[in-house]
Amino acid sequence: MLSEVRLMNVLPKLVSTTVKTLPRNGLVRHSSHFVYQPDAKSPVDGPTQKMNMFQAINQAMDIALEQNDSALVFGEDVAFGGVFRCSMGLQKKYGKHRVFNTPLCEQGIAGFAIGVANTGAKAIAEMQFADYIFPAFDQIVNEAAKYRYRSGNLYDCGSLTFRAPCGAVGHGACYHSQSPEAYFAHTPGLKVVVPRGPNKAKGLLLACVKDSDPCIVFEPKTLYRAAVEEVPVGAFESPIGKADILRSGTDITLVGWGTQVHVLQEVANMAKTQLDVSCEVIDLVSILPWDKETICNSVKKTGRVMIAHEAPLTNGFGAELAATIQEECFLHLESPVLRVTGWDTPFPHVFEPFYIPDKHRCLAGIRKLINY
């Protein structure tokens, strides 16, 4: 076993060789484990503007506030722009009565949002970090999600949207890095989506604001500034419940969402170059409901599938995908369904590079399936 002194000498070398370094304006960033892949095609026709993901989200909320006089944006520190600057300038433009701060109480934010939504107003509530959404779990799962059902469709929370920054960021540790989508995917009455970049973030947020059910948008926080692409300046919506095939392939299906999609796209290139393996890469986009048809059709074509997500392995949403694929595609499979995920431990700080399902672990997974 390594001594403490020796471990401290070895660890920096291990981290430096494991973490992807990205040049940015002459600097090297050591915290990114992925290379961002912008969408090749604009989601709709019309003029576009280059923006990052937090700017696209800001524009989506701006449009929602402009289109509906009842729309409200609220949460911890949103009045000055929020910790990730997603609501910058909105209070100045629309006033303190429509964009405002709340107390540091997620349960109270959710409860207030439910009440606002029940009056018919468009409520866009921010949870400052997805890690802190758990005090609001009861309000979201037992109240918002069930309102339509238990009132016999007399009332609903269909104009309610929660935004929550999630996922690994390079230095967030156990309270600022979690991916809690699977907790909420077990709840009928909710819709849960995860964008991979600016176009999806804007389109999904506007779709959620107009949806007839309460929605949660989990936004990978590492993409707020790292993800940059040409985004339509007008209003548009991305369909909830529809996966995107980002790359067609014949040998294996790779499924992910959020930041992991970009890891899988890089891995697909590596697999082609190093293993001569053709990968089909799918962004699930929507966790609840999820696009069973697109996933199963792809697996029936390729015969192999690897699911990758940052959340822990046990009961992660990949388990639901794996179970469905086994039920629907069993006779088409050439190998078992494989999951490459975070470990069943709290999210670490200095050991984050060894926790996340990076390109090296994913490539090893592909090699395992091909050689099965």
Q: How confident is the model at residue 332 (pLDDT cuts 50, 70, 90)?
A: very high
pLDDT above 80: residue 39: yes
365 is a domain residue: yes
Q: What is the pLDDT of residue 32?
A: 80
Same domain, 335 and 217: no
Q: Which of 207, 232, 257 is the last residue of a domain?
A: 232
Same domain, 224 and 125: yes
202 is a domain residue: yes
Return the HEC string of the chain: CCCHHHHHHHHHHHHHHHCCCEEECCEEECCCCCCCCCCCCCCCCCCEEEEEHHHHHHHHHHHHHHHCCCCEEEECCHHHCCCCCCCCCHHHHHCCCCEEECCCCHHHHHHHHHHHHHCCCCEEEECCCHHHCHHHHHHHHHHHCCHHHHCCCCCCCCCEEEEEEECCCCCCHHHCCCCCHHHHHCCCCCEEECCCCHHHHHHHHHHHHHCCCCEEEEEECCHHHHCEEEEECCCCCCCCCCCEEEECCCCEEEEECCCHHHHHHHHHHHHHHHHCCCEEEEECCEEECCCHHHHHHHHHHHCCEEEEEEEECCCCHHHHHHHHHHHHHHHHCCCCCEEEEECCCCCCCCCHHHHCCCHHHHHHHHHHHHCC
Among 91-105, 144-158, 242-256, which stretch is predicted with the lowest mean pLDDT?
144-158
Of 33, 76, 126, 176, catalytic: 176
288 is a domain residue: yes
15 is a domain residue: no
Q: What is the CATH number of the domain that holds 319?
A: 3.40.50.920
**In the chain, how many domains are there?**
2
Q: How confident is the model at residue 31 (pLDDT cuts 50, 70, 90)?
A: low
Q: Which of 209, 232, 255 is the last residue of a domain?
A: 232
Q: Catalytic residue at 106? A: yes
264 is a domain residue: yes
Contact 239, 96 (CB under 8 A): no
Q: Which of 180, 201, 232 is the last residue of a domain?
A: 232
pTM of the shown model: 0.91
5 is a domain residue: no
336 is a domain residue: yes
The values of phi and psi at residue 275, to 5°, are: -120, -5
Same domain, 220 and 258: no
Q: Write down the residue that tokens 């002194």 correspond to.
A: 5
Per-residue pLDDT, averaged over 166-189, amounts to: 95
Same domain, 303 and 189: no
Same domain, 272 and 220: no
* Domain, as residue range, for 314: 244-371
Same domain, 252 and 216: no
Same domain, 211 and 359: no
Same domain, 253 and 220: no
CB atoms within 10 A of CB 63: 19
Q: Catalytic residue at 332? A: no
Same domain, 200 and 180: yes
pLDDT tens, position by position, 112-158 = 999 999 999 999 999 999 999 999 999 999 999 999 999 999 988 88
Q: How confident is the model at residue 18 (pLDDT cuts 50, 70, 90)?
A: very low
Same domain, 267 and 216: no
pLDDT tens, position by position, 308-322 = 999 999 999 999 999
Same domain, 109 and 155: yes
22 is a domain residue: no
pLDDT above 60: residue 27: no
Q: What is the CATH number of the domain that holds 79?
A: 3.40.50.970
Same domain, 360 and 318: yes
Of 76, 106, 126, 219, catalytic: 106
